[in-house]
Structure 1
Amino acid sequence: MNSADLLTDAFTRVRETVHSAVEGLSRADLHTRLDEDANSIGWLVWHLTRVQDDHVSDAASVEQVWFAEDWASRFDLPFAKEATGYGHGSADVASVRVGSALLLGYHDAVHERTLAFVRGLDDGALDRVVDEAWSPPVSLGVRLISVISDDLQHAGQAAFVRGALERR
């Protein structure tokens, strides 16, 4: 197994976890929060997908799927189109009210773009610096592992919320 295969497998696990957390849920289920300040499944999956889209597109030097395929207009959210959810408060989380088809459609589009990018990488590509704003600068490999880690954490949170909803 090479690094491209490993990254492909990791991002595919994110997609599988997202689908398990979202498929079959109503719009109301996706918007439900376990308390007034908790994140909903819909917000968690939108956020993890936006971050993946933002970070992978930047690393690949391509336009985000969010803009290129006009997902921003389809979601029609009441905050800046560039938002990824970073720094969102409770009111922002509450405003992400979407259906599962839209949510999974966007996630799958980002997943396909991500796989197209990582499948073309060789081990040497992972050492390329993609962000000099940090000390030490962030390499492509570190950025991709960071995205995978964050995505799996948020997908796991969404799965937890789904489990709690199913027990009600």
Structure 2
Amino acid sequence: MPEDAEKIVPIAGHRKKEAEDTRTLSKKWGKEAIDLGYTVIPSALLRGQARLGIGPNELAVLIHLMDHWWKPEDMPWPSKKTIADRLMVSSKTVQRAIVNLEEAGLLKRKDRYHKTGGRTSNEYDLTPLVTRLKPIVADMEAAEKDAKAKRKAAERPGLKHRRSAS
């Protein structure tokens, strides 16, 4: 995370949880790696990738865009070249992935310009992705609830029958 990125100041009740989360991440990845910053990737994005209809290039580009998205109201604007260099692919591959993500309704590209009028990197609005994940999350939660109910019923198969008989 760049030095000029605003640090998140936790609400008093959340400080303990945030400190615990950071310690856990440090144990997993090493303190040095976590101290450089980290990106939260919702499991629903990874588990729902097929449902979103995106391939590995699109997912990789999304993850790199998310790495630049620090505040909810400030959408990321890394250059295609930056993403391409990090992924070791061509800028054209990144451009195709962005077009595919836009066509899939997962992001919106917004042109950005220098003060002198020249073009600079695009801004990428990821709110469509957030919106598209909501029904996927709801379906995953419902499936988890159903699976839990089935496990519980399997553990005590006669319980329902006994309750209705009393």
TM over 0.5: no
Q: Which of the pair is proportionally richer in helix?
A: 1
Q: Which of the pair is proportionally richer in strand?
A: 2
Higher relative contact order (CA 8 A, sep 6+): 1
Q: Which has the larger radius of gyration?
A: 2
Q: What is the TM-score normalised by the length of structure 1?
A: 0.33
